[in-house]
C-alpha cells in the first residue's frame, strides 16, 4: 500500500488516542531498522579498504620512480579525483549508504562533500551557485576541525607547562 494513502488514513481518525496509536504504528512500520554490529563492520572494512587503496597508490607511485613525498601527494590527488568522479556519476552516495561512516575517511569524504555541493548548486551559476555554496557542507567541518585543534593545542600547551 502507498505510504501517502496510509498517512491520510491515520490523519482522518477523529479520536486522538486512536490517531496517535495509528500514527506510532505507521512510523514504526516505515522507519528503517539498522543492525549496529553490521554497520560497524561495514564501516571498518570499507574505511580500511580506502586506506589500503591509498597505500597501494602510494607504493605504485614510488615504484614508478616518485619520491616518497611526491608519491604521497599523488596519492592524495588520486583519492580526491576518484571521489569526485564517483560523486559525479552518483556512485559515491550509493557506496556511502552501504558503507556508512567508512566513507568518511577524511580526504574522500571531504572531496565528496565539496563536489556534491558544487554539483547540486551548479544550475544557479558559477558565482552564486558553485562559488557561494561549494563549502556549504564542508564549511562546518573546516570550522569545527580548526576550533577543536585550537582547543586541543591550548590543552597540550597547558599540560606541557607543568
Least Cα distance to 19 among 27, 132, 43 occurs for: 27
Give the other-Cβ count within 10 Å of 18's Cβ: 11
Distance CA(161)–CA(154), nearest Å, equals 11
E strand segments, 28-153: none
pTM of the model: 0.65
Distance CA(45)–CA(102), nearest Å, equals 7
The mean pLDDT of the chain is 84
Give per-residue pLDDT as tens, 131-146: 777 777 777 877 888 8
What is the grid cell recorded at 33? Answer: 531498522
Amino acid at each position: 500500500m502507498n505510504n501517502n494513502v496510509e498517512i491520510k488514513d491515520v490523519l482522518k481518525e477523529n479520536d486522538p488516542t486512536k490517531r496517535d496509536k495509528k500514527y506510532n504504528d505507521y512510523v514504526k512500520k516505515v522507519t528503517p531498522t539498522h543492525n549496529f554490529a553490521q554497520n560497524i563492520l561495514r564501516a571498518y572494512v570499507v574505511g580500511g579498504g580506502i586506506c589500503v587503496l591509498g597505500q597501494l597508490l602510494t607504493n605504485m607511485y614510488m615504484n614508478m620512480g616518485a619520491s616518497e613525498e611526491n608519491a604521497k601527494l599523488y596519492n592524495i590527488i588520486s583519492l580526491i579525483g576518484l571521489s569526485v568522479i564517483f560523486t559525479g556519476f552518483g556512485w559515491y552516495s550509493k557506496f556511502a549508504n552501504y558503507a556508512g561512516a567508512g566513507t568518511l575517511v577524511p580526504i574522500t569524504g571531504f572531496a565528496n562533500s565539496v563536489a556534491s555541493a558544487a554539483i547540486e548548486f551548479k544550475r544557479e551559476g558559477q558565482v552564486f551557485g558553485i562559488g557561494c555554496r561549494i563549502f556549504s557542507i564542508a564549511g562546518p567541518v573546516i570550522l569545527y576541525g580548526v576550533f577543536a585543534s585550537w582547543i586541543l593545542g591550548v590543552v597540550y600547551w597547558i599540560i606541557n607547562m607543568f
